[in-house]
Amino acid sequence: MLEQEGFEHYEISNFALPGRYSRHNTAYWQNVPYLGIGASAHSYNGYTRSWNVPDLRQYCDKIESGNMAYTLEQLSFDDLYNDFVLTSLRTMWGLDLDKVKFLYGNDRYMYCLQQALIHIQSGNLIMSEKHLRLTRKGLFISDTIMSDLFYVD
């Protein structure tokens, strides 16, 4: 119904009028670094993720005493690739295969294509203009498709 009214299904769980996408969420899907300030806030710089202490009093006490008020997660090369697959395939823009090759190398690029083949053949993914995109049918099993493209050593 939303598409009939001119809305675009720009992300698995979001519709918007053309060009009126959530800037906040779109930043996640496009791998844009962000800084979270305050209790429970999350941050991402392209290599690490961090999340601040959720309790406000504890957060303030740690800041005032000069201690870390967050937990830091160092992302591995595989984590970065898998996150890129996950966040890209959630969107109408899909997974940019040229970016996969540029950012993660020919081995991950070839792996991604090989893993995607069965989903392309079954009609759950399409490849156009060097992008992999979920089909309407693929939306309903998107977690399976994404996890099949993940690289797990």
pLDDT of residue 48: 96
The angle at the Cα of 139, spanning 147 to 1, to the nearest 5 degrees, equals: 160
Show the DSSP H helices in the chain as ranges: 23-29, 56-64, 77-89, 97-121, 136-139, 142-149
pLDDT of residue 23: 87
pLDDT of residue 24: 84
pLDDT of residue 29: 84
pTM of the model: 0.89
pLDDT of residue 28: 84
Instruction: Please give the chain's pLDDT, 153 residues, in tens.
Output: 999 999 999 999 999 999 999 988 888 888 899 999 999 999 999 999 999 999 999 999 999 999 999 999 999 999 999 999 999 999 999 999 999 999 999 999 999 999 999 999 999 999 999 999 999 999 999 999 999 999 998
pLDDT of residue 136: 95
pLDDT of residue 152: 92
Complete domains list, the chain, with CATH: 22-74 (no CATH), 77-149 (1.10.10.920)
pLDDT of residue 132: 98
pLDDT of residue 47: 94
